[in-house]
Structure 1
């Protein structure tokens, strides 16, 4: 909590900004220089400065420092971060540099298939079909042997979501990290659904972590953003020394600068405001999500519930081991397991029933975002995963719930009336929206 509130903006830094208690928003695209020599030295990296917004911005830098501090907490390594325009930009920037043909003509990647739909599209379509990268999806993400037999001398990285969207499956990070170290390739984990409040993959052995800051980190729903956080001094085969020494710094100095996927300082400023309460917010949302999941699991008209906090979930044992509310232990206190704010369920009756339940929800917002203070519901097969429908392991009748900060009793009451059919469908969409 202290790291989220303070970040790198301390008393000394505040004194340089007229004592402002909050990080100032530098809504400017460029920096003025007092002389040609100052311009040259700053652009060359010989003195402190930010030069031009595509290369950096002070407000964006405050957010990068804060995210690195949160994800690097209790990690025995130096850690740095680069923030991006969106979570998908973070995923692309975290993976693309490893696919250079300069270090091998036929690169391949090994990944868990339990991934967000757009991630699958990037790997299969943008990398595989358009650039000839071999994409090797493991059949069982919990089988380390399954991962290992797909790795060869041209494999560039291992990739997984933990927990995954929307089936909230975890992977066993420590043995996967050991496997990646033996192969001298990075293990990249998308930990958006856990957030640093519940799990820090770098502490479990991962090399690189990605987040969509649009989700729980930016729970007000006002800004989009992403982050790449990496440990320094990675031992990587056939990769440039600069990349391995400080991957996030390498992204800022090269790919991000050249390709322009930089975060707006205004968005960074709003995300800084949201991220301060990350721990307490995720704690409350997760506690409510567990209550909702347990309630749904007890209903006879619900076929299946997907939530790692339930003993019936396939990766419950990993969640019990790895997902803890940060700093919940202490003198006289036991550490508290928290299992996140996302869950899914399948109502009896198949796809028509799922559509009917979604339409009858009154309190949940029918929306494809997650991690917000407002609870949302969607059917991934027609929303977040529509572009890969038919090839995706997500059931077509699954409803995904993102539990926000409403009272859990109110959310449960809304779900009960929607499941029993006692409610009425929500208001029709505006005509302009229907036309789209």
Structure 2
């Protein structure tokens, strides 16, 4: 997982074991010709920090190595200021009217609130793009019905925030290939430690590096990772050849969404421990989810590691701790660090439980080393919580919990006292057996 920073590269940096932080905005050149050749891309160099920086480059190569691990394809990456910048840059280039004047996109409604806003408001209302939210993200027929000659891409989070619902990536990839459009997956919640969508057939993956990749909570960042040589209908050859490179050389350079070298440096330090950290956090999250599912005052738990979750079968198939299989041991399923639950008693009970948390931090972030909780309907998804639940279904009484590195018993003890203090008892809803994000569960699952 060292990317391009190997022994030879370290020798050029005074033998430093860690990537150096190039906290500079521009590079000096020994001649005008060297400046010209570097700016033209004819020789190695970085010219100006908006166009690139060595520390940022190390992070891009590391992220590409992680997401491209065991993937039978060449992969490249571009890192951005935030996860939302990554989502915007990964999708916007496909909406050019040069390809057709009535573009549409087909997406899962189980998305982060800001993603919904970008698609509905920035693309839909402001640019006239038709946004087609599928009725049931697990129904391939539902996706296929919306695809036509003007569809530019398919988009889904897997798992989704906050309902931790997966999609069938190989099946969606087959649809995208037939239509010669890209399948774009937000893989933030799984991280490359548990799932690499490119290996399942996706064309482009986006991440918020602010989350588990940057678990110390010191820096924001995002990433776009893509296969090279994409076979896409009507798109420019240079964009298909190296999509991430195209972003760096064009949209990112022109619009100024490049990550700062300092943030890249702190993210490089955090990402080294990604596998071990996600392993521990995921194991604890399963224990917490199982405990909450056994409480009579919790009416519903959202966690793909629970057999009753509607997408448990996909999680069992696709979410594996990387390199956990080996001689004498089998591969290990891990289902991520994020879960959600609904206390009996509705919104008042959820707010009381939130206010009583002692160990768990009340914060609108996830994937951190510290456990955090929020009520998405009044936090991360406030902008869309009042919309049609078929578009952005977020239960108003759902508490989203990101399990950190604290001892699982301590997290459970904190949740128990918070729930006990809500003074509400209730009967477990039948929806706890599998209803996720307002979509009826298949009784067979």
TM-score, with length taken from structure 1: 0.96
Q: Which residue of 1 aligns with 2:426?
A: none
Report SS of the residue matched to 2:66: helix
Match of 2:219 in 1: 223
Structure 1 unaligned runs (5+)?
424-436
Q: Hey, what does 1:329 align to over in structure 2?
A: 325
1:349-368 map, 5 Å: 349-368=345-364
Gaps of 5+ in 2: 424-445
Structure 2 residue corresponding to 1:124, chosen from 120, 141, 150: 120
1:299 to 295, 298, 303: 295
Cα drift, residue 105 of structure 1: 0.5
SS in 1 for 2:231: coil
Equivalent residue of 1:387, what SS? coil
Q: Does 1:210 align with 2:206?
A: yes
Aligned counterparts of 2:145 and 2:17: Cα–Cα separation in 1: 53
Residue 407 of structure 2 corresponds to residue 407 of structure 1: yes
Cα displacement string for residues 222-252 of structure 1 (whole angstroms, at most 9, x for unaligned residues): 0000000000000000000000000000000
Aligned: 1:146 with 2:142 = yes
**1:11-410 alignment to 2 at 5 Å?**
11-391=7-387, 392-410=392-410
Per-residue Cα deviation, 1:61-118 (whole angstroms, up to 9, x for no partner) = 0000000000000100000000000000000000000000111101000000000000
* Deviation of the 1:422 alpha carbon: 7.7
Measure the CA separation in 2 of the matches of 1:14 and 1:415: 46
Q: Distance in 2 between matches of 1:310 and 1:97?
A: 38
SS of the residue corresponding to residue 42 of structure 1 reads helix
Name the counterpart of 1:432: none
The Cα shift of 1:403 comes to 0.1
Matches of 2:71 and 2:348 in 1, distance apart? 47
Runs of 4+ in structure 1 over 4 Å off: none
Q: Name the SS for the 1:344 alignment partner.
A: strand
Count how many residue pairs are aligned between Structure 1 and Structure 2.
Answer: 419
Structure-1 separation of matches of 2:8 and 2:130: 50
Partner of 1:434: none
The whole-number CA distance in structure 2 between the counterparts of 1:226 and 1:287 is 25
Whether the 8 Å contact between 2:353 and 2:422 is mirrored in structure 1 is no
Contact 2:352 2:422 in 1 (8 A): no
Query: What do you get for the CA RMSD once the two structures are aligned?
Result: 0.7
Provide the rounded CA distance (Å) in 1 between the counterparts of 2:398 and 2:29: 56
Q: Deviations over 1:149-168 (max 9, x none)?
A: 10010000000000000000
* Alpha-carbon distance, 1:7 to partner: 2.1
Q: For the residues of structure 2 that align with 1:334 and 1:265, how far apart are their CA atoms?
A: 40
Q: Is the 8 A contact 2:349 2:422 kept in 1?
A: no
- Aligned residue for 2:98, secondary structure, equals helix
**Superposition deviation, residue 327 in structure 1:** 0.1
**Aligned equivalents of 1:240, 1:422: Cα separation in 2:** 57
| 1:279-300 per-position Cα deviation (integer Å, ceiling 9, x unaligned) | 0000000000000000000000
Q: Secondary structure at the match of 2:184?
A: strand
